[in-house]
Amino acid sequence: MPLITSPKTATQLPRASAGFTLVEILITVVVLSIGLLGLAGLQISGLRANMSSEARSKATLLANDIIERMRANPLGVDANQYAGITTASLDCDTDPSPFCSNTSSADAENCTATEMATFDAWVWACGLPVAAGVQRGGIQNFLLDGAARVTCTDNDASDADACSPGSSHTVTVSWSENSPNTTETTSAGSSQTQTISLVVVP
């Protein structure tokens, strides 16, 4: 009688482990964190650059504001009432008298060129009042640590007039802002003074 043998069973290999190991998860978290930190840094730099651009636009508009006021008051310019304006020396808590604004037509109609120049300088620095104790616009309200001045470069030193007719006027506006980038002299986020200057013959 033939010997009956049982068939050989195939050797079963152990299954490979499925899923992620703890080391792989930790490496993924580290790489993702570095990427998110870089993205956050880019967003902060973008916000700072946008704020810097906004401040520069405001400063340019304010510089053009006083230039247009000078062109609208040529007698005040000829009398050197705009040369030497410094916004830091003006008191925003005290309105100029007379108040040469179209909100008070009587005062506006009777203002002399000198009074109009004084009013223009005050509005340029402080803005126009919109309510009791509230003012809108102006160097001091629109710009952080804003300051501005107007200087005259005399084109005729032979006469006694310190700012002869036709002389150029330089309008300088400065303000503070946070540095968006690190440089040799500043670190990112530190406050630094920015300045623009416009030269015009009103």
Q: Which domain holds residue 161?
A: 22-182+189-200
Establish how many alpha carbons lie within 13 A of residue 186's alpha carbon, considering only the half-sphere containing its beta carbon.
11
Could you tell me if residue 15 is inside a domain? no
Look up the pTM and report it.
0.71
Could you tell me if residue 159 is inside a domain? yes
Does residue 66 contact residue 150 with C-beta atoms inside 8 Å?
yes
Can you say whether the dihedral through the CA atoms of 100, 111, 91, 74 is positive or negative? positive
Could you tell me if residue 16 is inside a domain? no
Could you tell me if residue 59 is inside a domain? yes
Could you tell me if residue 17 is inside a domain? no
Residue 15, both tokens: 């299954």
Could you tell me if residue 58 is inside a domain? yes
Q: Which residue has the tokens 């179209």?
A: 102
Task: Name the average pLDDT for the chain.
Answer: 83
Q: How confident is the model at residue 136 (pLDDT cuts 50, 70, 90)?
A: confident
Q: How confident is the model at residue 188 (pLDDT cuts 50, 70, 90)?
A: low
Q: Look at residue 183 and tell me whether its pLDDT is greater than 70.
A: no
Could you tell me if residue 7 is inside a domain? no
Number of domains in the chain: 1
Calpha distance 142→58 (Å, rounded): 7
Could you tell me if residue 8 is inside a domain? no
Least confident of 10-14, 16-20, 118-122, 165-169: 10-14
